[in-house]
Structure 1
Amino acid sequence: MKSNIPRQGVLQPLLATLPATDVPPLQADALSQAARAALDALRLEAESANTTHSYQGALRYWAAWYWLRYGQAIALPLPTTVVLQFIADHGERVAESGLVCDLPASIDAQLVQAGFKGKMGALAHSTLVHRIAVLSKAHSRKALLNPCHDAHVREALSHLRKAYARRGALVQKKAALTRLPLEQLLATCDDSLKGLRDRALLLFAWASGGRRRSEVAEARMEWLQALGPDQYLYDLRLSKTNQSGVDRPENLKPVVGPAGAALAQWLQAAGISEGPIFRRVFRNGRVGDAALTPLSVNNIVKERCALAGIEGNFSAHSLRSGFVTEAGRQSMALVDTMAMTGHQSASTVLGYFRAEAPLANKAARLLEDPGTEK
């Protein structure tokens, strides 16, 4: 393949006419400090606030643990032995005395007292795996030899997951808010500003395809198109599966029926015509200017569950899983459901679709007389 770069002899006369500059020349084999700072700024801008906060929190914990465990400041790259020690310190295992981990109690207490840990004891499996993933990413960003890719680390993590699974210690999926429990939540929403907001938020999140809490928090009027009375199209510009903001038809999510009516009532009552759709409502009835945080969206779901007297492991994600589960119950086409949710994997959606399939399996009723099925 021929190169498109002009030959040096052709360019030389032209380059010689360029005026001299007072900017020192760069080294082609090394990235400048200013370029590094610019690329870091772009990365921080591209990442969600939740991701950045979670990433920084994990690295702070690594630094504090390393300081207390090894008596010196952490420096990358870390040897594989340090990552294995981290797993041993924070992963629970069965011993004669019960469940134990290797983190000394005095160090554990210091980490809790300094605010690096929430409570004494082993980390949850998901937290431990996340912190190792963050360390792995930190090595990859700096193009360093990654200890998290070592076969011994991978094997230890595999053993950890299997051990937790055998004793039922892995985090279970959040309960699904299907149509019936969702209606119970909506019944707790009165006609106050807070009630109107929460009703609109719950219906917007559920009926537009089970939006993630970050997507609800980031919803803006500029991306909402009114089609008629109580009918909207919401342009989901950014999502977990479209972080680059690619313009595509499936970005458009309908907000119609009860969801459209609730959204229209909230926007009119709150006087919102631009900016964030879902905002804080103060005790004096004033509507704030800033958007709700993803944590606030999660808290709203939990608060409404408590008011409705619904017991279970519910969160904002329960709206998403509830939408998909209800779609399965009502025999919605898989392709239509995925168009609404934005799932890229059919297997993930089928997991919800099949949630209640065992009871509907005719092979489980071979001992029953024909016509006795319910």
Structure 2
Amino acid sequence: MPSWPDALQRLEGAYSDHTLRAYRSGFVAFSSWCRRRRRPALPASPETVAAYLDEESARLKPATLKQRLCAIRKIHQLSDLKDPTAHPDVELAMRRARRAQPTRPKQALGITATLRDQLLAACADDLMGLRDKVLVSVGFDTLCRRGELVSISIEDLTRTGQGRYTVLVRRAKNDPEGTGRIAHLSTQSTALIDSWLDKLGTERGPLLRPVYRRRVPALHLTPATVSRILKRITARAVEVNVSKKVSGHSLRVGAAQQLTLDGKGILQIMRAGGWRSMNVVARYVENIDADVWN
């Protein structure tokens, strides 16, 4: 029987790097727990997995436990072993974990059009400030997740007959085959991109890049950097307490909320953001302040 890292290596190229890291870290956590209790992690018995869930549910959220179960299941499948997570005892343990922590998922503060404009005005006038403006404006227009946003390359941009850009969002969380979707950029985003590309002096490579004083290497930003940039600009534009509620998902949330405020239907919003579930979109827009409708 191959070791579980060898088994996991078979997934290279078939799954995203994020998914592979989640499988790896999830099974490492489970195997460490098993080692401390002198239980085999591979193959694991249903009793072991259920005991793991019961114990860890005191400190881990149900969503995290679900991710760990996915890792345990996948490693066993790749090793041609019986899946212990399919046993009724494991299902019952997971139900106990969910009932013990009945929480709603926290939603990031939505950056709607008003806050977006405040962020753009707060960006510095230097090279990094221009990059930040492109990030904010393009992120809002495309409703991209942070990983999708930093993956955009200059080659993904196409100028339309109206003079504005469209961008091909090549790969999304719910689009593992990379079919992609076309997002339309505003005149404002187009002008910012033109200024940014003029500074870069290139028509190839990552659109959003790290800036080290006057040096801009041809590297993609990391998804985590999006969160830090948005928090930094929000703290400058509004206040620190507001910035704490902002995440890398705030542009996507806020743009969906803005489309709702603009009277767009849920199918239009789903198409704009590449959603396939109405329930997800409904959660995004449920926190809109009712006062803005009056």
- TM-score, reference length from structure 2: 0.87
Query: Shift in Å at residue 341 of structure 1?
Result: 0.4
Partner of 1:285: 214
Partner of 1:85: 51
Separation of aligned partners in 1, 2:191 and 2:20: 36
Query: Shift in Å at residue 300 of structure 1?
Result: 1.6
Separation of aligned partners in 1, 2:41 and 2:25: 17
Change in 2 beyond 3 A, CA 1:230/1:288? farther
Which segment drifts farther, 271-280 or 182-191? 182-191
| Aligned equivalent of 2:111, options 166, 177, 180 | 177
Partner of 2:279: 347
| Aligned equivalent of 1:60, options 28, 38, 42 | 28
Change in 2 beyond 3 A, CA 1:339/1:171? closer
What does residue range 252-267 of structure 1 map to in structure 2 within 5 Å?
252-267=182-197
Partner of 1:124: 61
| Aligned equivalent of 2:253, options 318, 321, 333 | 321
Separation of aligned partners in 1, 2:271 and 2:90: 38
Deviations 1:11-68 (A, max 9, x none): xxxxxxxxxxxxxxxxxxxxxx9xxx89945x32242222222221222222222212
Query: Shift in Å at residue 353 of structure 1?
Result: 3.8
Partner of 1:51: 19
Partner of 1:299: 228
Whose RCO is larger (CA < 8 A, sep 6+)? Answer: 2
Change in 2 beyond 3 A, CA 1:337/1:267? same
Separation of aligned partners in 2, 1:261 and 1:53: 37
1:223/1:236 contact within 8 Å kept: yes
Partner of 2:82: 145
Gaps of 5+ in 2: none
Q: Matched residue of 2:111: which SS?
A: coil
Query: Shift in Å at residue 343 of structure 1?
Result: 0.4
Separation of aligned partners in 2, 1:138 and 1:206: 38
Matched, 1:335 2:243: no
Gaps of 5+ in 1: 1-32, 93-121, 362-373
2:47/2:89 contact within 8 Å kept: no
Separation of aligned partners in 2, 1:157 and 1:360: 40
| Aligned equivalent of 1:240, options 165, 173, 181 | 173
Separation of aligned partners in 1, 2:224 and 2:15: 17
Deviations 1:77-136 (A, max 9, x none): 2101111221222112xxxxxxxxxxxxxxxxxxxxxxxxxxxxx233332322122212
Change in 2 beyond 3 A, CA 1:230/1:312? farther
- TM-score, reference length from structure 1: 0.70
Q: Number of residues paired by the alignment?
A: 287
RMSD after superposition: 2.6
Q: Matched residue of 2:160: which SS?
A: strand
Partner of 2:126: 192
Which amino acid counterpart does residue 192 of structure 2 have in structure 1? A
Q: Percent identity?
A: 26
1:77/1:139 contact within 8 Å kept: yes
Change in 2 beyond 3 A, CA 1:337/1:171? closer
Query: Shift in Å at residue 214 of structure 1?
Result: 0.9
Bigger Cα Rg:
1
2:119/2:233 contact within 8 Å kept: yes
1:83/1:147 contact within 8 Å kept: yes
1:234/1:254 contact within 8 Å kept: yes
Which amino acid counterpart does residue 51 of structure 1 have in structure 2? T
Q: Matched residue of 1:176: which SS?
A: coil
Q: Matched residue of 1:156: which SS?
A: helix
Which amino acid counterpart does residue 285 of structure 1 have in structure 2? R
